[in-house]
Amino acid sequence: MKLFEARGLSKRFGDQVVLEDITLGCDEGELVGIMGPNGAGKTTCFNVLTGRYRPDRGSVHFAGQDITGLAPREIARRGISRSFQIMNLFDDYSALDNVLIATPQVRRQGFNPWRDLGADSRAQELAAAVLARVGLAGKERAQARSLSYGERRALEIGVALAAEPRMLFLDEPTAGLGAEGTARLTELVAQLRRHLTIMVIEHDMKFLFGLADRISVIHWGQVIAQGTPDELRQNEWVARSNLGVLA
Ligand SMILES: Nc1ncnc2c1ncn2[C@@H]1O[C@H](COP(=O)(O)OP(=O)(O)OP(=O)(O)O)[C@@H](O)[C@H]1O
């Protein structure tokens, strides 16, 4: 059985069918990519997979359980974390505190901006370890707003990792990064995939083709091709599109 599996997902907004009969999944330990042109429905698909939107039809299973339509918080509790395409950090807080706030220890007590986040030394150690994992050792005390764009993207992934997920969803992690930032992020994701199952939406096909075990191509809300990077390079549609040229 797959660790994560979506079957026959459909979603419409008003008259517009945005997702139609999407079936995709991944085994434990895999890195699976979702690619497709602008407006293809990738972000909507991600939002359905991670509980932000309820599908009109179809199901989502994780670790043998039906999680279709569960609230994002409930899905997170079951071991799925996601990063956001739009930056989702507390700018005035330190890098360490941004991660601390997302740890299960601190979450259990409810978020209280006035509480002394430094009081729990065990949680602090865990948060520092997460920062080291995403390449931000030494930046613990830096305010989130003072970090470079690439560092902020790494911190966002750190925030997602703070919940100690079994599976990580990344929404366009290289968006806005230059060549050097993308290279760093590629290295980070390559490290993370050793211990995590990862699903990633990405426009940067070089990034995706270099890292993914398998990729689903979405166009007009449907999966039009699925396979390993090598298989997709042979795919006529991918070869004809810009997506294929970039890879
Ligand atoms: N909340 C919403 N209400 C109405 N329409 C929506 C909503 N979210 C997305 N759409 C529409 O669904 C279609 C797919 O959008 P979506 O953002 O999922 O595509 P995408 O493949 O992620 O695109 P991009 O790569 O540009 O982010 C678009 O036509 C968009 O306008």
DSSP 216: E
User: Biggest alpha carbon distance in the chain?
Assistant: 58
Same domain, 150 and 108: yes
| 135 part of a folded domain | yes
Would you say the CB of residue 241 lies under 6 angstroms from ligand 1? no
Mark whether 107 and 75 lie in a shared domain.
no
Residue 19 in contact with ligand 1 by CB distance below 6 A: no
Q: Is residue 58 part of a domain?
A: yes
Residues 6+ apart with CB under 8 A from 45: 9, 19, 22, 34, 201, 218
Whether residue 156 sits in one domain with residue 174: no
pLDDT at 79: 94
Shared domain for 111 and 220, answered yes or no, is: no
Q: How far apart are CA 186 and CA 166, in angstroms?
A: 20
**Nearest residue by C-alpha to atom 24 in ligand 1:** 38
Contact 83, 156 (CB under 8 A): yes
Q: Is the residue at 33 inside a domain?
A: yes
In the reported structure, the alpha carbon of residue 42 is separated from the centroid of ligand 1 by a whole-number distance in angstroms of: 8
Q: What angle do CA 160, 189, 2 make, to 5 degrees?
A: 75
Q: What is the mean pLDDT of each run of 10 residues along the chain (247 residues)?
A: 95 95 96 90 92 95 95 91 80 94 76 61 89 95 94 94 94 89 93 95 87 94 93 82 55
Residue 113 lies in a domain: yes
CA of 233 to the centre of ligand 1 (A): 26
**Is 140 a member of any domain?**
yes
What are the C-alpha distances in Å from 103 to residues 51, 119, 158? 20, 14, 10
| Span between the terminal Cα atoms of the chain, in Å | 31
Q: CATH number, domain at 45?
A: 3.40.50.300
DSSP 92: T
Q: Assess whether 21 and 97 both reside in one domain.
A: no
Is the CB of residue 39 below 6 angstroms from any atom belonging to ligand 1?
Answer: yes
pLDDT in tens, 192-224: 999 999 999 988 888 999 999 999 999 989 999
Q: Which residue owns the Cα nearest ligand 1 atom 18? A: 41
**81 HSE (CA, 13 A, CB side):** 18
For residue 40, which atom of ligand 1 is closest to its CA? 21
What pLDDT shows up at residue 103? 86
Please indicate, yes or no, whether residues 242 and 207 belong to a single structural domain of this protein.
Answer: yes
Q: Are residues 62 and 135 in the same domain?
A: no
Structure confidence at residue 247 (pLDDT): 47
C-alpha to C-alpha distance for 191 and 201, rounded to whole angstroms: 18
84 within a domain of the structure (yes/no) = no
Show the beta-strand stretches assigned E in 52-206.
57-62, 65-66, 80-82, 167-171, 197-201
What pLDDT does 175 receive? 87
| Ligand 1, atom 12: closest residue by C-alpha | 18
Ligand 1 atom 31 nearest Cα:
39
Domain count, the chain: 2
Q: Indicate whether 192 belongs to any domain.
A: yes
Where does a domain end: 146, 162, 178? Answer: 162
Ligand 1 atom closest to the Cα of residue 203 is 25
- SS3 label, residue 39: coil
Residue 151: domain span: 89-162
Closest residue by Cα to residue 170 from 99, 83, 97: 83
Q: Is 214 in the pocket of ligand 1 (CB under 6 A)?
A: no
Q: Does 75 lie in the same domain as 181?
A: yes
Going by their DSSP bridges, the two strands 16-26 and 167-171 should be labelled as unpaired
Q: Are strands 31-35 and 214-219 parallel, antiparallel or unpaired?
A: parallel
Residue 152 Cβ inside 6 Å of ligand 1? The answer reads no
* Domain final residue pick, 162, 181, 201: 162
Same domain, 158 and 169: no
154 with 191, same domain: the answer is: no
The answer to whether the CB of 42 is under 6 A from ligand 1 is: yes
- Both 102 and 62 in one domain: the answer is no
Whether residues 141 and 176 share a domain: the answer is no
Beta carbons of 214 and 26 less than 8 angstroms apart: yes
Residue nearest to atom 7 of ligand 1 (CA): 13
Output the CA 40–ligand 1 centroid distance in Å. 7
